[in-house]
Structure 1
Amino acid sequence: MASPSRFADLIIRQGTVITPGGPVLADVVCSDGLIVALDSRGWQAKDTMEAQGLHVLPGVIDSQVHFREPGLTHKETLEAGTRGALLGGVTAVFEMPNTHPLTLWQDDLQDKLDRAAGRAWCDYAFYMGGAAANATHLADLETLPGCAGIKVFMGSSFGDLLVDEDDVLRRILSHGHRRVAIHAEDEARLMERRALVEASADVRDHPRWRDEESALLATRKILRLAEEAGRRLHLLHVSTAAEMALLARHKRSVSVEVTPHHLTLTAPECYERLGSLAQMNPPVRDRHHQAALWQAVRDGVVDVLGSDHAPHTLEEKARPYPNSPSGMTGVQTLLPMMLDHVNAGRLSLMRLVDLTSAGPARLFGLPGRGRIAVGQSAALTLVDMNARRRIENRWIASVSGWTPYDGVTVQGWPVATVLRGQLVMRDDDVIGPPLGSPVRFDETRR
Structure 2
Amino acid sequence: MLIANATLPDGRERDVRIADGQIDAVEPSLSGEPDIDAAGKRLFPGALDVHVHFRQPGYSHKETWETGSKSAAAGGVTTVVDQPNTDPATVDGAGFDEKADLAAASYVDYGINGGVTADWDPEELFDRPLFALGEVFLADSTGDMGIDADLFADAVARCATSNRNAKRSDDAAARAAEHDVTITVHAEDADLFDSSVEGVDAGGAGRDADADLWSAFRAAEAEEAAVERAVEVGTGQGTAVHIAHTSTPEGIDAASAGGATCEVTPHHLFLSREDADELGTYGRMNPPLRSEERREAVFERVRDGTVDMIATDHAPHTREEKDVGLWDAPSGVPGVETMLPLLLEEARQGTLSYERVRDLIAANPADVFDLPNKGRIEEGRDADLVLFDPEDAREIRGEDLHSKCEWTPFEGRQGVFPELTLVRGEVVYRDGEFGDAVGRNVRER
Q: Fold-level match, TM-score > 0.5?
A: yes
Note the C-alpha offset of 1:110: 1.3
Note the C-alpha offset of 1:441: 7.0
Per the alignment, residue 414 of structure 1 pairs with 418
Kindly indicate which of the two structures has a greater share of residues assigned to strand: 1
Per the alignment, residue 163 of structure 2 pairs with none
Q: Is the 8 A contact 2:194 2:217 kept in 1?
A: no
Per-residue CA shift, 1:358-394, capped at 9, x if unaligned? 1111000112111111111111111221012111111
Unaligned runs of 5+ in 1: 1-9
What is the aligned counterpart of 2:100 among 113, 131, 138? 113
Per the alignment, residue 263 of structure 2 pairs with 257
Per the alignment, residue 442 of structure 2 pairs with 439
For 1:425, give the aligned amino acid. Answer: Y
Gap change, CA 1:198 and 1:325, over 3 Å in 2: farther
- The runs of at least 4 aligned residues of structure 1 exceeding 6 Å deviation read none
Unaligned runs of 5+ in 2: 160-179
For 2:63, give the aligned amino acid. Answer: E
1:41 matches 2:30: yes
Alpha-carbon distance in structure 2 between the residues aligned to 1:110 and 1:99: 13
For 1:400, give the aligned amino acid. Answer: C
For 2:431, give the aligned amino acid. Answer: D
Note the C-alpha offset of 1:427: 1.6
1:225 matches 2:229: no
Alpha-carbon distance in structure 1 between the residues aligned to 2:281 and 2:96: 32
Per the alignment, residue 166 of structure 2 pairs with none
Per the alignment, in what secondary structure is the counterpart of residue 26 of structure 1? strand
Per the alignment, residue 16 of structure 2 pairs with 28
Superposition pairs of residues 194-213 of structure 1, within 5 angstroms: 196-199=199-202, 201-213=209-221
Per the alignment, residue 109 of structure 2 pairs with 123
Per the alignment, residue 154 of structure 1 pairs with 138
Per the alignment, in what secondary structure is the counterpart of residue 181 of structure 1? strand
Per-residue CA shift, 1:194-237, capped at 9, x if unaligned? 87434353221111000111212222222222233222210011
Per the alignment, residue 324 of structure 1 pairs with 329
Note the C-alpha offset of 1:139: 6.4
Note the C-alpha offset of 1:428: 2.4
1:187 matches 2:190: yes
Note the C-alpha offset of 1:89: 0.7
Q: TM-score, normalised by structure 1?
A: 0.89
1:244 matches 2:252: yes
1:167 matches 2:150: yes
Superposition pairs of residues 225-374 of structure 1, within 5 angstroms: 225-251=233-259, 254-267=260-273, 269-374=274-379
Percentage of identical aligned residues: 35
What is the aligned counterpart of 2:407 among 379, 396, 402? 402
For 2:268, give the aligned amino acid. Answer: H
Note the C-alpha offset of 1:140: 6.1
Per the alignment, residue 13 of structure 1 pairs with 4
Per-residue CA shift, 1:259-301, capped at 9, x if unaligned? 111110111x211111111111101111111122122123322
Alpha-carbon distance in structure 2 between the residues aligned to 1:37 and 1:127: 33
Per the alignment, residue 391 of structure 2 pairs with 386
Q: Is the 8 A contact 2:197 2:216 kept in 1?
A: no
Count how many residue pairs are aligned between Structure 1 and Structure 2.
Answer: 418
Q: Is the 8 A contact 1:121 1:434 kept in 2?
A: yes
Alpha-carbon distance in structure 2 between the residues aligned to 1:55 and 1:143: 41
Q: Is the 8 A contact 2:183 2:240 kept in 1?
A: yes
Structure 1 vs Structure 2 CA RMSD = 2.0
Q: Is the 8 A contact 1:196 1:209 kept in 2?
A: no
Alpha-carbon distance in structure 1 between the residues aligned to 2:196 and 2:153: 26
Q: Is the 8 A contact 1:64 1:309 kept in 2?
A: yes
Per-residue CA shift, 1:306-331, capped at 9, x if unaligned? 01100111011011112111111100
Alpha-carbon distance in structure 2 between the residues aligned to 1:139 and 1:223: 24
